[in-house]
Protein backbone atom coordinates (compact mmCIF):
# COMPACT_ATOMS: atom_id res chain seq x y z
CA UNK A 1 0.00 0.00 0.00
CA UNK A 2 1.32 3.43 -0.96
CA UNK A 3 2.39 5.71 1.86
CA UNK A 4 -0.23 8.37 1.30
CA UNK A 5 -3.04 5.87 1.07
CA UNK A 6 -3.49 5.62 4.81
CA UNK A 7 -4.22 9.34 5.05
CA UNK A 8 -6.48 9.14 2.01
CA UNK A 9 -8.41 6.18 3.41
CA UNK A 10 -8.82 7.92 6.74
CA UNK A 11 -10.05 11.09 5.05
CA UNK A 12 -12.52 9.24 2.88
CA UNK A 13 -13.83 7.24 5.79
CA UNK A 14 -14.50 10.28 7.92
CA UNK A 15 -15.58 12.65 5.15
CA UNK A 16 -19.17 11.43 5.18
CA UNK A 17 -19.17 11.13 8.95
CA UNK A 18 -17.97 14.73 9.28
CA UNK A 19 -20.91 15.84 7.15
CA UNK A 20 -23.51 13.87 9.04
CA UNK A 21 -22.11 14.42 12.51
CA UNK A 22 -24.56 16.29 14.70
CA UNK A 23 -24.04 17.60 18.20
CA UNK A 24 -26.73 17.12 20.81
CA UNK A 25 -26.54 20.67 22.18
CA UNK A 26 -29.00 20.09 24.99
CA UNK A 27 -26.94 17.19 26.30
CA UNK A 28 -23.75 19.17 25.79
CA UNK A 29 -25.16 22.05 27.87
CA UNK A 30 -26.31 19.68 30.59
CA UNK A 31 -22.94 17.96 30.63
CA UNK A 32 -21.10 21.19 31.33
CA UNK A 33 -23.67 22.44 33.82
CA UNK A 34 -23.57 21.99 37.57
CA UNK A 35 -25.41 18.68 37.18
CA UNK A 36 -22.46 16.95 35.56
CA UNK A 37 -20.11 18.62 37.98
CA UNK A 38 -22.03 17.27 40.96
CA UNK A 39 -21.74 13.74 39.52
CA UNK A 40 -18.00 14.14 39.50
CA UNK A 41 -18.09 15.54 43.02
CA UNK A 42 -20.07 12.54 44.21
CA UNK A 43 -17.39 10.33 42.78
CA UNK A 44 -14.71 12.25 44.67
CA UNK A 45 -16.83 11.91 47.79
CA UNK A 46 -17.06 8.16 47.35
CA UNK A 47 -13.28 7.95 47.03
CA UNK A 48 -12.90 10.06 50.12
CA UNK A 49 -14.89 7.57 52.23
CA UNK A 50 -11.68 5.63 52.86
CA UNK A 51 -10.01 8.81 54.06
CA UNK A 52 -12.93 9.62 56.39
CA UNK A 53 -12.77 6.15 57.97
CA UNK A 54 -9.03 6.60 58.47
CA UNK A 55 -9.62 10.02 60.08
CA UNK A 56 -12.14 8.48 62.50
CA UNK A 57 -9.63 5.75 63.38
CA UNK A 58 -6.96 8.39 63.99
CA UNK A 59 -9.33 10.44 66.16
CA UNK A 60 -9.98 7.33 68.24
CA UNK A 61 -6.25 6.60 68.58
CA UNK A 62 -5.67 10.29 69.37
CA UNK A 63 -8.26 10.26 72.18
CA UNK A 64 -6.74 7.13 73.72
CA UNK A 65 -3.23 8.56 73.41
CA UNK A 66 -4.20 11.95 74.85
CA UNK A 67 -5.88 10.26 77.79
CA UNK A 68 -2.75 8.19 78.45
CA UNK A 69 -0.49 11.25 78.24
CA UNK A 70 -2.75 13.49 80.35
CA UNK A 71 -2.98 10.82 83.02
CA UNK A 72 0.70 9.97 82.67
CA UNK A 73 2.05 7.12 84.66
CA UNK A 74 5.53 5.64 84.14
CA UNK A 75 3.94 2.18 83.93
CA UNK A 76 2.15 3.22 80.70
CA UNK A 77 5.34 4.09 78.85
CA UNK A 78 5.15 1.05 76.53
CA UNK A 79 1.52 1.88 75.74
CA UNK A 80 2.24 5.57 75.02
CA UNK A 81 5.28 4.80 72.86
CA UNK A 82 3.48 2.05 70.91
CA UNK A 83 0.18 3.86 70.31
CA UNK A 84 2.11 7.09 69.60
CA UNK A 85 4.14 5.32 66.89
CA UNK A 86 1.04 3.66 65.41
CA UNK A 87 -0.68 7.06 65.41
CA UNK A 88 2.24 8.80 63.62
CA UNK A 89 2.56 6.06 60.99
CA UNK A 90 -1.16 6.28 60.24
CA UNK A 91 -1.01 10.08 60.09
CA UNK A 92 1.80 9.81 57.53
CA UNK A 93 -0.16 7.26 55.44
CA UNK A 94 -3.34 9.36 55.56
CA UNK A 95 -1.44 12.52 54.69
CA UNK A 96 0.05 10.85 51.60
CA UNK A 97 -3.31 9.39 50.59
CA UNK A 98 -5.12 12.75 50.81
CA UNK A 99 -2.24 14.51 49.06
CA UNK A 100 -2.51 12.10 46.14
CA UNK A 101 -6.30 12.28 46.08
CA UNK A 102 -6.18 16.07 45.82
CA UNK A 103 -3.38 15.90 43.28
CA UNK A 104 -5.31 13.39 41.14
CA UNK A 105 -8.36 15.62 41.04
CA UNK A 106 -6.39 18.73 40.17
CA UNK A 107 -4.37 17.42 37.27
CA UNK A 108 -4.64 19.77 34.34
CA UNK A 109 -5.16 17.61 31.27
CA UNK A 110 -4.03 20.45 29.03
CA UNK A 111 -0.43 19.32 28.95
CA UNK A 112 1.62 17.22 26.58
CA UNK A 113 0.27 13.69 26.51
CA UNK A 114 3.40 11.82 27.60
CA UNK A 115 4.02 14.06 30.63
CA UNK A 116 0.40 13.95 31.82
CA UNK A 117 0.13 10.19 31.36
CA UNK A 118 3.39 9.69 33.22
CA UNK A 119 2.09 11.84 36.08
CA UNK A 120 -1.20 9.91 36.24
CA UNK A 121 0.57 6.56 36.13
CA UNK A 122 3.05 7.53 38.86
CA UNK A 123 0.09 8.53 40.96
CA UNK A 124 -1.50 5.12 40.52
CA UNK A 125 1.75 3.39 41.33
CA UNK A 126 2.12 5.34 44.57
CA UNK A 127 -0.40 2.95 46.13
CA UNK A 128 2.51 0.58 46.79
CA UNK A 129 4.17 3.24 48.92
CA UNK A 130 1.08 3.71 51.11
CA UNK A 131 0.95 0.01 51.86
CA UNK A 132 4.63 -0.36 52.72
CA UNK A 133 4.45 2.54 55.17
CA UNK A 134 1.42 0.99 56.86
CA UNK A 135 3.37 -2.23 57.54
CA UNK A 136 5.83 -0.29 59.71
CA UNK A 137 3.30 -0.25 62.55
CA UNK A 138 3.35 -4.06 62.91
CA UNK A 139 5.90 -4.38 65.80
CA UNK A 140 4.12 -1.75 67.88
CA UNK A 141 1.02 -3.94 68.05
CA UNK A 142 3.14 -6.44 70.03
CA UNK A 143 4.27 -3.94 72.68
CA UNK A 144 1.33 -1.64 73.47
CA UNK A 145 -0.06 -3.99 76.15
CA UNK A 146 3.19 -4.22 78.12
CA UNK A 147 3.50 -2.36 81.40
CA UNK A 148 6.71 -1.42 83.15
CA UNK A 149 4.92 -2.40 86.33
CA UNK A 150 5.38 -6.08 85.48
CA UNK A 151 7.60 -6.19 82.40
CA UNK A 152 10.30 -7.32 82.46
CA UNK A 153 10.93 -7.38 86.24
CA UNK A 154 8.11 -9.71 87.22
CA UNK A 155 8.20 -12.00 84.22
CA UNK A 156 10.11 -15.22 83.91
CA UNK A 157 12.89 -15.54 81.33
CA UNK A 158 10.67 -17.69 79.10
CA UNK A 159 8.14 -14.89 78.67
CA UNK A 160 10.91 -12.33 78.11
CA UNK A 161 12.43 -14.51 75.39
CA UNK A 162 8.97 -15.02 73.86
CA UNK A 163 8.29 -11.25 73.89
CA UNK A 164 11.66 -10.45 72.34
CA UNK A 165 11.06 -13.13 69.70
CA UNK A 166 7.54 -11.86 68.96
CA UNK A 167 8.48 -8.18 68.68
CA UNK A 168 11.70 -9.02 66.87
CA UNK A 169 9.83 -11.15 64.30
CA UNK A 170 7.26 -8.45 63.69
CA UNK A 171 9.98 -5.80 63.44
CA UNK A 172 11.89 -7.92 60.92
CA UNK A 173 8.69 -8.64 58.96
CA UNK A 174 7.84 -4.91 58.87
CA UNK A 175 11.38 -4.06 57.74
CA UNK A 176 11.36 -6.83 55.15
CA UNK A 177 8.00 -5.75 53.70
CA UNK A 178 8.99 -2.08 53.75
CA UNK A 179 12.20 -2.86 51.88
CA UNK A 180 10.63 -5.24 49.36
CA UNK A 181 7.20 -3.82 48.57
CA UNK A 182 8.61 -1.59 45.89
CA UNK A 183 7.74 -1.10 42.25
CA UNK A 184 11.00 -2.73 41.26
CA UNK A 185 9.75 -5.98 42.84
CA UNK A 186 6.36 -6.06 41.16
CA UNK A 187 7.61 -8.89 38.98
CA UNK A 188 7.57 -11.12 42.10
CA UNK A 189 4.37 -13.07 42.57
CA UNK A 190 4.13 -12.61 46.36
CA UNK A 191 4.48 -8.83 45.99
CA UNK A 192 1.69 -8.79 43.43
CA UNK A 193 -0.50 -11.01 45.64
CA UNK A 194 0.04 -8.73 48.61
CA UNK A 195 -0.88 -5.67 46.61
CA UNK A 196 -3.85 -7.31 44.92
CA UNK A 197 -6.16 -6.47 47.81
CA UNK A 198 -5.33 -2.81 47.31
CA UNK A 199 -5.88 -2.62 43.59
CA UNK A 200 -2.86 -4.69 42.59
CA UNK A 201 -4.23 -5.44 39.12
CA UNK A 202 -4.51 -1.75 38.51
CA UNK A 203 -0.97 -1.34 39.79
CA UNK A 204 0.27 -3.99 37.36
CA UNK A 205 -1.62 -2.34 34.52
CA UNK A 206 -0.21 1.02 35.50
CA UNK A 207 3.29 -0.44 35.64
CA UNK A 208 2.92 -1.95 32.17
CA UNK A 209 1.71 1.39 30.90
CA UNK A 210 4.57 3.19 32.63
CA UNK A 211 7.01 0.92 30.79
CA UNK A 212 5.13 1.63 27.54
CA UNK A 213 5.53 5.38 28.11
CA UNK A 214 9.25 4.97 28.76
CA UNK A 215 9.73 2.99 25.56
CA UNK A 216 7.56 5.48 23.65
CA UNK A 217 9.76 8.35 24.86
CA UNK A 218 12.90 6.47 23.93
CA UNK A 219 11.68 6.08 20.34
CA UNK B 1 -17.32 37.73 29.45
CA UNK B 2 -20.57 36.53 31.06
CA UNK B 3 -20.89 32.84 31.98
CA UNK B 4 -23.69 32.44 29.41
CA UNK B 5 -21.55 34.04 26.74
CA UNK B 6 -18.63 31.80 27.62
CA UNK B 7 -20.86 28.74 27.39
CA UNK B 8 -21.99 29.81 23.90
CA UNK B 9 -18.40 30.28 22.75
CA UNK B 10 -17.53 26.87 24.18
CA UNK B 11 -20.43 25.19 22.38
CA UNK B 12 -19.44 26.83 19.07
CA UNK B 13 -15.85 25.67 19.60
CA UNK B 14 -17.00 22.10 20.18
CA UNK B 15 -19.28 22.37 17.16
CA UNK B 16 -16.40 23.57 14.99
CA UNK B 17 -14.12 20.75 16.12
CA UNK B 18 -16.64 17.97 16.67
CA UNK B 19 -14.86 15.76 14.14
CA UNK B 20 -11.70 15.67 16.25
CA UNK B 21 -13.60 14.52 19.32
CA UNK B 22 -15.66 11.97 17.42
CA UNK B 23 -12.55 10.39 15.88
CA UNK B 24 -10.72 10.21 19.20
CA UNK B 25 -13.70 8.65 20.97
CA UNK B 26 -14.19 6.24 18.10
CA UNK B 27 -10.54 5.21 18.09
CA UNK B 28 -10.32 4.60 21.83
CA UNK B 29 -13.71 3.00 22.51
CA UNK B 30 -15.30 0.04 20.83
CA UNK B 31 -18.41 -0.09 22.96
CA UNK B 32 -21.25 2.37 22.32
CA UNK B 33 -21.96 2.96 26.04
CA UNK B 34 -18.26 3.58 26.63
CA UNK B 35 -18.23 6.10 23.82
CA UNK B 36 -21.08 8.04 25.40
CA UNK B 37 -19.30 8.15 28.73
CA UNK B 38 -15.96 9.07 27.22
CA UNK B 39 -17.51 11.86 25.08
CA UNK B 40 -19.08 13.31 28.19
CA UNK B 41 -15.91 13.07 30.24
CA UNK B 42 -13.89 14.77 27.51
CA UNK B 43 -16.45 17.57 27.20
CA UNK B 44 -16.43 18.14 30.98
CA UNK B 45 -12.62 18.26 31.07
CA UNK B 46 -12.57 20.65 28.09
CA UNK B 47 -15.12 22.90 29.78
CA UNK B 48 -13.13 22.93 33.02
CA UNK B 49 -10.02 23.93 31.12
CA UNK B 50 -11.77 26.39 28.77
CA UNK B 51 -11.51 29.33 31.17
CA UNK B 52 -7.74 29.06 31.29
CA UNK B 53 -7.36 28.50 27.54
CA UNK B 54 -4.37 30.43 26.21
CA UNK B 55 -5.45 32.13 22.94
CA UNK B 56 -1.85 32.03 21.67
CA UNK B 57 -2.42 28.34 21.00
CA UNK B 58 -4.78 26.79 18.51
CA UNK B 59 -8.10 25.44 19.73
CA UNK B 60 -7.41 22.19 17.92
CA UNK B 61 -4.06 21.66 19.73
CA UNK B 62 -5.69 22.34 23.10
CA UNK B 63 -8.53 19.99 22.25
CA UNK B 64 -6.24 17.19 21.06
CA UNK B 65 -4.16 17.38 24.24
CA UNK B 66 -7.11 17.17 26.60
CA UNK B 67 -9.15 14.67 24.61
CA UNK B 68 -6.20 12.34 24.08
CA UNK B 69 -5.18 12.53 27.73
CA UNK B 70 -8.70 11.70 28.86
CA UNK B 71 -9.07 8.91 26.29
CA UNK B 72 -5.73 7.29 27.16
CA UNK B 73 -6.55 7.42 30.87
CA UNK B 74 -9.90 5.85 30.05
CA UNK B 75 -8.85 2.20 30.32
CA UNK B 76 -7.32 2.73 33.74
CA UNK B 77 -10.42 4.47 34.97
CA UNK B 78 -12.97 2.05 33.59
CA UNK B 79 -14.52 1.30 36.97
CA UNK B 80 -14.60 4.93 37.94
CA UNK B 81 -16.23 5.94 34.68
CA UNK B 82 -18.93 3.34 35.16
CA UNK B 83 -19.78 5.02 38.45
CA UNK B 84 -20.21 8.42 36.89
CA UNK B 85 -21.74 7.20 33.68
CA UNK B 86 -24.31 9.57 32.39
CA UNK B 87 -27.96 9.02 33.18
CA UNK B 88 -28.74 10.22 29.64
CA UNK B 89 -29.60 7.54 27.11
CA UNK B 90 -28.36 9.74 24.26
CA UNK B 91 -24.88 10.62 23.06
CA UNK B 92 -23.36 14.07 22.57
CA UNK B 93 -22.19 13.14 19.08
CA UNK B 94 -24.72 11.57 16.70
CA UNK B 95 -24.73 10.69 13.02
CA UNK B 96 -27.73 12.08 11.15
CA UNK B 97 -27.68 9.16 8.68
CA UNK B 98 -25.80 5.88 8.34
CA UNK B 99 -23.20 6.11 5.60
CA UNK B 100 -23.36 3.46 2.87
CA UNK B 101 -20.30 1.24 2.90
CA UNK B 102 -18.31 1.33 -0.35
CA UNK B 103 -15.15 -0.69 -1.01
CA UNK B 104 -13.01 2.28 0.07
CA UNK B 105 -15.03 2.65 3.24
CA UNK B 106 -14.55 -1.03 4.04
CA UNK B 107 -10.79 -0.50 3.70
CA UNK B 108 -11.22 2.59 5.85
CA UNK B 109 -12.92 0.55 8.53
CA UNK B 110 -10.01 -1.94 8.42
CA UNK B 111 -7.69 0.99 8.99
CA UNK B 112 -9.76 2.17 11.97
CA UNK B 113 -9.73 -1.34 13.38
CA UNK B 114 -5.95 -1.68 13.00
CA UNK B 115 -5.41 1.72 14.57
CA UNK B 116 -7.61 0.80 17.54
CA UNK B 117 -5.48 -2.33 18.04
CA UNK B 118 -2.31 -0.26 18.54
CA UNK B 119 -0.89 0.62 21.96
CA UNK B 120 -2.49 3.64 23.61
CA UNK B 121 0.25 6.15 22.78
CA UNK B 122 0.81 4.79 19.28
CA UNK B 123 -2.91 5.24 18.64
CA UNK B 124 -2.62 8.91 19.57
CA UNK B 125 0.43 9.29 17.33
CA UNK B 126 -1.23 7.69 14.31
CA UNK B 127 -4.46 9.58 14.85
CA UNK B 128 -2.54 12.86 14.67
CA UNK B 129 -0.58 11.64 11.66
CA UNK B 130 -3.75 10.65 9.80
CA UNK B 131 -5.22 14.03 10.64
CA UNK B 132 -2.25 15.45 8.72
CA UNK B 133 -0.68 17.23 11.64
CA UNK B 134 2.93 18.23 11.05
CA UNK B 135 5.66 16.33 12.89
CA UNK B 136 6.32 19.50 14.84
CA UNK B 137 2.71 19.74 16.02
CA UNK B 138 2.55 16.02 16.83
CA UNK B 139 5.74 16.37 18.86
CA UNK B 140 4.25 19.34 20.72
CA UNK B 141 0.97 17.58 21.52
CA UNK B 142 2.59 14.33 22.61
CA UNK B 143 5.70 15.78 24.23
CA UNK B 144 8.32 13.80 22.31
CA UNK B 145 10.97 14.81 19.78
CA UNK B 146 10.24 15.28 16.08
CA UNK B 147 12.80 12.59 15.25
CA UNK B 148 10.98 10.19 17.54
CA UNK B 149 7.69 11.08 15.83
CA UNK B 150 9.13 10.30 12.40
CA UNK B 151 10.76 7.04 13.52
CA UNK B 152 7.65 5.71 15.22
CA UNK B 153 5.31 6.67 12.36
CA UNK B 154 7.61 4.84 9.96
CA UNK B 155 7.57 1.70 12.11
CA UNK B 156 3.81 1.72 12.64
CA UNK B 157 3.17 2.18 8.91
CA UNK B 158 5.19 -0.96 8.19
CA UNK B 159 3.01 -2.88 10.68
CA UNK B 160 -0.17 -1.46 9.17
CA UNK B 161 0.91 -2.40 5.66
CA UNK B 162 1.55 -5.96 6.79
CA UNK B 163 -1.85 -6.16 8.45
CA UNK B 164 -3.54 -4.83 5.31
CA UNK B 165 -1.80 -7.28 3.05
CA UNK B 166 -2.71 -10.17 5.37
CA UNK B 167 -6.36 -9.09 5.58
CA UNK B 168 -6.99 -8.20 1.97
CA UNK B 169 -5.21 -11.17 0.34
The 3-class SS string of A154-218 reads: CCCHHHHHHHHHHHHHHHHHHHHHHHHCCHHHCCCHHHHHHHHCCCHHHHHHHHHHHHHHHHHHH
Interval B46-69: pLDDT, tens: 998 898 888 888 899 999 999 999
The pLDDT of residue B84: 47
pLDDT recorded at residue B101: 59
Q: What is the pLDDT of residue A22?
A: 86
pTM of the model: 0.75
The CA-based dihedral angle spanning residues A143, A149, A155, A157, taken in that order and rounded to the nearest 10 degrees? 70
Q: Please count the other Cβ atoms lying within 10 Å of the Cβ belonging to residue B64.
A: 26
Of chain A, the percentage scoring pLDDT greater than 90 comes to 32
- Of B29, B58, B88, the residue at which a domain comes to its end is B88
Q: Is residue B96 part of a domain?
A: no
On whether both B82 and B8 belong to a single domain, the answer is yes
CA distance B29 to chain A (A): 16
Residue B9 has pLDDT above 70, yes or no: yes
- Check B52 against A110: CB less than 8 A apart: yes
Give the gap in angstroms from C-alpha B82 to the nearest C-alpha of chain A. 10
On whether residue B126 sits in a domain, the answer given is yes
Chain A: residue whose CA lies nearest to B150:
A219
On whether residue B158 sits in a domain, the answer given is yes
> Is residue B94 one of the residues assigned to a domain?
no
pLDDT at res. B130: 94
Count Cβ neighbours within 10 Å for each residue of B28-50 and write b for 16 or more, e otherwise.
Answer: bbeeeebbbbbbbbbbbbbbbbb
Q: Is B105 in the same domain as B79? A: no
B78 and B112 belong to one structural domain:
no
Please say if the pLDDT value at position B93 is more than 80: no
Q: How many domains does chain B have?
A: 2
Residue B148's CATH number: 1.10.10
Question: Between A204 and A198, where is the model more confident?
Answer: A204
The boundaries of the domain holding residue B5 are 1-88
Instruction: Report, as an integer, the average pLDDT of B31-45.
Output: 88
| C-alpha dihedral sign at B133, B134, B139, B141 | negative
pLDDT above 60 (res B82)? no
Per the domain annotation, does B95 fall within a domain? no
Q: What is the mean pLDDT of chain B?
A: 84
B119 and B84, same domain (yes or no):
no
Q: Do B131 and B153 lie in a common domain?
A: yes
Cβ–Cβ contact A37 with B under 8 A: yes
Question: Could B43 and A31 be called an inter-chain contact, meaning their C-beta atoms sit closer than 8 Å?
Answer: yes
Nearest CB to B43 within list A7, A32, A46: A32
* Cβ atoms B18, A23 nearer than 8 A: yes
Q: Where a domain ends, among B59, B88, B117?
A: B88
- The CATH number linked to B21 is 1.10.1740.10
Q: Which of B54, B88, B122 is the last residue of a domain?
A: B88
In a domain? residue B72: yes
Domain assignment present for residue B136? The answer is yes
DSSP H or E stretch at residue A23:
strand A21-23
Would you say residue B21 lies in a domain? yes
Question: What is the nearest CA distance from A85 to chain B, expressed in angstroms?
Answer: 34
Q: How far apart are CA A102 and CA A92, in angstroms?
A: 15
Q: pLDDT (tens digit, 9 = 90+) per residue, A76-117? A: 999 999 999 999 999 998 888 788 777 777 788 888 999 998
Are B118 and B168 within one domain? yes
Predicted confidence at residue B81, as pLDDT, reads 47
Count of CB pairs separated by less than 8 Å, A with B: 172
Q: How confident is the model at residue B83 (pLDDT cuts 50, 70, 90)?
A: very low
pLDDT exceeds cutoff 90 at B152: yes
ipTM surpasses cut 0.85: no
Domain co-membership, B17 together with B40: yes
Q: Is A77 exposed, middle or buried (0-12, 13-18, 19+ CB in 10 A)?
A: middle
What is the SS3 assignment for B93? strand
Amino acid sequence: MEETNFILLWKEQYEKIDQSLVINKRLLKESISQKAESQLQSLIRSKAIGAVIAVLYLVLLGIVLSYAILNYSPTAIYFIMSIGSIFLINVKALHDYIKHLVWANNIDYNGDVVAIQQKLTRLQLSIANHIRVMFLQLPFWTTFYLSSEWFPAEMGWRYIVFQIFLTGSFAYLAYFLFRNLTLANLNKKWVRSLLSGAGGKKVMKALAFYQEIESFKAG
Amino acid sequence: MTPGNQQDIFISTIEAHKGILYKIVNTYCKDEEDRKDLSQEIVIKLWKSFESFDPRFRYSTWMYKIALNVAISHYRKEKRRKNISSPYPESIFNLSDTPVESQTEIHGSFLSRFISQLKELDKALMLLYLEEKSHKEIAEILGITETNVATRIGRIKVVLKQKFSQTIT
